[in-house]
Amino acid sequence: MNFDLTEERQMLQDTLRRYLSDKYDTASRNKIIDSDAGMSAEVWAQLAELGVIGALFTEEDGGFGGKGFDISTVFEELGRAGVVEPFLDTAILGGGLLAAIGSDDQKALVEEVIGGGLHLALAHGEPASRFDLSRVETTAKADGGDIVLNGRKAVVVNAEAADHLIVSARESGSAADKDGISLFLVEKDAAGLTMRGYPMLAGGRAAEVTLDGVKVPASARLGEAGKGFAPLMDVIAKANVALAAEALGAMHSAVELTREYLTTRKQFGRPIGTFQALAHRYSDLLIEMEQATSAVINAAGHLEVDAAERDRQIASTRNLIGRVGRLVAEESIQMHGGIAMTKEYELAHIAKRIVMTDHRFGDTDYHLERFIELSAA
Amino acid sequence: MDLNYTAEEVAFREEVREFLKEKLPKELSAKVKARKHLSKDDMERWHAILNEKGWLAPNWPKEFGGAEWNAVQKHIFEEETARAGSPRIVPFGLSMLAPVLQKFGSKEQQDYYLPRILNGDDWWCQGYSEPGAGSDLASLKTRAVREGDHYIVNGQKTWTTLGQYANMIFCLVRTDTEVKQQEGISFLLIDMNTPGIEVRPIILLDGVHEVNEVFFDNVKVPVENLVGEENKGWTYAKYLLTHERTNIAGVGYSQAGLESVKRIARAESANGKPLIENPYFAARLAQVEIDLMAMATSNMRIISKAAAGQAPGVESSMLKVKGTIIRQELNDLARRAVGPYAMPFPSESVEGDNDPIGPDYAAPVSAAYFNNRKLSIFGGSNEIQRGIIAKVKMGG
């Protein structure tokens, strides 16, 4: 047993933490959130140069990491600083799928992703699919040598900035079948593809995407026809590790801000942290943070095992992080009082990031249900 | 023990329902139910409708133009208006300042200000909290120094709700620095248009401008704007806070919130079935509903006591804590219920009539979840309430 980061990961963590604490303070981050693009091209390029994206890919795919603990190391730091740039979407989901099942031509794009020159988005969820990953009603129909896509995709994060979208569509089977789902690499300006973009509550942008007779060549298909579900589950497993680690990083920041506030804010002539009512609640947060830290280690450490056990571990982690995340976000705000309700205060954004991770790829209840199913299997 | 309302109370409820059916403008109730932000005009319009009926000031004695309802009637009114989606009555003039003026104000102050509150001539805001004086309100530092016929006021107030609409502010100010904190505070009425006052917006985490900072730089306030006696302001402030705590349980809001969560959960589906049938979600919802049913009865127990003339004691603190926990839990459930559609930040669709991004019910729920974290912070935080409960019950 060894719970220390490897030397490489330790360096990555130090570099990332130093860069973000220098360049990504509350004011500059809030300016990024309020900008039209909802992200900073400069920050993106600099983080790519520091190797943040490369760390999310294996050597085989042109990176220098790509394991569970690489993902958790990077995303915990991104979470700590409340980073809104779409590393999850472009690198883990989009780049991850290209690397895993892309043709040689498609795989060639991974290098551009690692270099920071290409953005991607996964257009999978639909208006009625909620967290049900196999519910795909968007259709893909052969038309001569081409394929025609029709349907709607909901809350597609990073869709507007993406050069290509990876679109899931059904080639056979009924609405919730796992078989029959294919993935297609679609250019953003393909005819028939329209999007309605909007900002998200915790920063960044997403869009509702409509595919109205979008024609792509058969070579746009990623991997085998109708066999897209399993590789999708693989990248979503990585995304779940990333989301849990990101929430954990943000939770660390929330607890640290709370500690600072409890020791400096005075009411009734003394620091409010000296009131036992608050001191004990702060201690409870620390106790739960140990649980959360271990839960992320569990998920990251099981990313490379067989899919059934991996998914059970991930469900347990995301359930625990969901519960502790809500506790940390709400208690941190409560112990601060009004100041934490203001947009300008760091905790406001951090709390939103924590809570909003519970709306991607399953919430606390979804992962509880899934854990029970997978444990019974 | 009788859990039923009397015949008179039932008839009163009918009268309120009838009135709301007839007079509550549909576009206002639609906005409230969709949790859209109300404009100043919306709020003033509803006040005028209630005022015409004589129902704008349920708390006030008849001699001042109020309805003088008992606690049960007020409760029925609150329950029915919440259910119908009425705008909230803006409380600052009507239920905070007015009771203080009625009990401690001069005849001139009563004659001048009270009709103006009813008629909507003045919009009041509350100048209590300061950056350094939140839960510890008595440590406030805004200074008022008497110079001839005026007080000169210097300092800063914060969390001033809807201060951007106000033309008047009632303030707690320090008039004596030599005595015990509570004994050097006075209650002043200040015209917001006086030179030296600056209002700066505070934008909350949901992007909304609801509260403000108010700065006072050598602001001249005529001495006749002092309420009651100099240095007795703390007594009046405490009196005001007991009025702020009526309807503290928010049963009507929670009942409306529960209905709204159920509506969402019937429309949403999880794994091909309505979300409301999902056992995990249904269990959470049931727990809150069970808590709310019990709290509604706790609330009625206290209301009956109050109607019989007994002043509520720590029970109002207990209701504040339980009531806010339940409301916040319902906000959490609404956010959960909409799944991925909790992520968009559709400021335009909350404000205006634009097409919603996902289902129309999804647009406001995340912002409301974050905004309503304030419920357990303001009006005496839940920690302060717990302190009061323990102190009173342990005889401290």
Q: How confident is the model at residue B245 (pLDDT cuts 50, 70, 90)?
A: low
Name the residue ranges covered by the structural domains of chain A: 7-119, 121-226, 230-376
B-chain residue closest to A177, CA distance: B271
Of A130, A278, A359, the CB nearest to B343: A359
Q: Is A137 on the interface with B (CB under 8 A)?
A: no
What is the nearest CA distance from B39 to chain A, expressed in angstroms?
A: 21
B-chain residue closest to A30, CA distance: B205
Binary contact (B205, A355; C-beta < 8 A): no
Q: Is B384 on the interface with A (CB under 8 A)?
A: no
- DSSP-based three-state secondary structure for A177: coil
Pick the CATH number of A230-376 from 3.10.20.30, 1.10.3720.10, 1.20.140.10, 1.10.10.10: 1.20.140.10
CA distance A214 to A330: 44
Find, among A22, A100, A108, the residue nearest to A56 by Cα.
A100
Residue percentage of chain B with pLDDT more than 90: 81
A121-226 maps to which CATH number? 2.40.110.10
Q: How confident is the model at residue B248 (pLDDT cuts 50, 70, 90)?
A: confident
Binary contact (A334, B382; C-beta < 8 A): yes
A-chain residue closest to B283, CA distance: A365
Mean per-residue pLDDT for B47-75?
Answer: 94
Token output for A198 = 């909007």
Mean per-residue pLDDT for A276-295?
Answer: 98
Q: What is the pLDDT of residue B116?
A: 98
Token output for A350 = 């951090």
Residue A18 pLDDT greater than 90, yes or no: yes
Find, among A256, A228, A376, A238, the residue nearest to A307 by Cα.
A238
Domains and CATH numbers, chain B: 7-89 (no CATH), 123-231 (2.40.110.10), 245-393 (1.20.140.10)
Q: What is the pLDDT of residue B240?
A: 81
Q: Is B111 on the interface with A (CB under 8 A)?
A: no
Provide the mean pLDDT of chain B.
Answer: 93
Q: What is the pLDDT of residue B3?
A: 83
- Look up the ipTM and state it: 0.95
**Homologous superfamily of A7-119 in CATH?**
Acyl-CoA dehydrogenase/oxidase, N-terminal domain (1.10.540.10)
Query: CB under 8 Å to A206, separation ≥6 — which residues?
Result: A155, A156, A157, A158, A159, A197, A198, A200, B343, B344
Q: Is A344 on the interface with B (CB under 8 A)?
A: yes
- Dihedral sign for Cα atoms in the order B335, B340, B343, B345: negative
Query: CB under 8 Å to B52, separation ≥6 — which residues?
Result: none
Q: What is the pLDDT of residue B396?
A: 61
Residues of A in contact with B203 (CB under 8 A): 342-344
Q: What is the pLDDT of residue A358?
A: 98
Q: Is B182 on the interface with A (CB under 8 A)?
A: no
Residue B34 pLDDT greater than 60, yes or no: yes
A254 touches A351 (CB < 8 A): yes
Q: Is B372 on the interface with A (CB under 8 A)?
A: no
Q: Is B297 on the interface with A (CB under 8 A)?
A: no
Helical residues (DSSP H) of B54-179, grouped into ranges: 71-84, 91, 98-104, 107-119
- DSSP-based three-state secondary structure for A5: coil
Q: Is B352 on the interface with A (CB under 8 A)?
A: no
Helical residues (DSSP H) of chain B, grouped into ranges: 7-23, 26-33, 40-53, 71-84, 91, 98-104, 107-119, 233-244, 251-267, 279-307, 315-337, 347-351, 365-371, 382-393
**How many interchain CB pairs under 8 A, A with B?**
140
Binary contact (A277, B374; C-beta < 8 A): no
Of B159, B342, B366, the CB nearest to A338: B159
CA distance A150 to B82: 44
Residues of A in contact with B181 (CB under 8 A): none
Mean per-residue pLDDT for A347-362?
Answer: 98
For residue range B78-103, list pLDDT tens digits in order. Answer: 999 999 999 999 999 999 999 999 99
Residue A73 pLDDT greater than 60, yes or no: yes
Binary contact (B383, A355; C-beta < 8 A): no
Least confident of A53-57, B64-68, B355-359: B355-359
Of B380 and A287, the structure prediction assigns the larger pLDDT to A287
Rg (CA), chain A: 21
Of A157, A199, A348, the CB nearest to B205: A348
Least confident of A72-76, B242-246, B368-372: B242-246
For residue range B270-303, list pLDDT tens digits in order. Answer: 989 999 999 999 999 999 999 999 999 999 898 8
For residue range B107-144, list pLDDT tens digits in order. Answer: 999 999 999 999 999 999 999 999 999 999 999 999 99
For residue range A92-101, list pLDDT tens digits in order. Answer: 999 999 999 9
Q: Is A359 on the interface with B (CB under 8 A)?
A: yes
Q: What is the pLDDT of residue B307?
A: 78
Q: Is A199 on the interface with B (CB under 8 A)?
A: yes
Q: What is the pLDDT of residue B349?
A: 46
Residue A194 pLDDT greater than 60, yes or no: yes
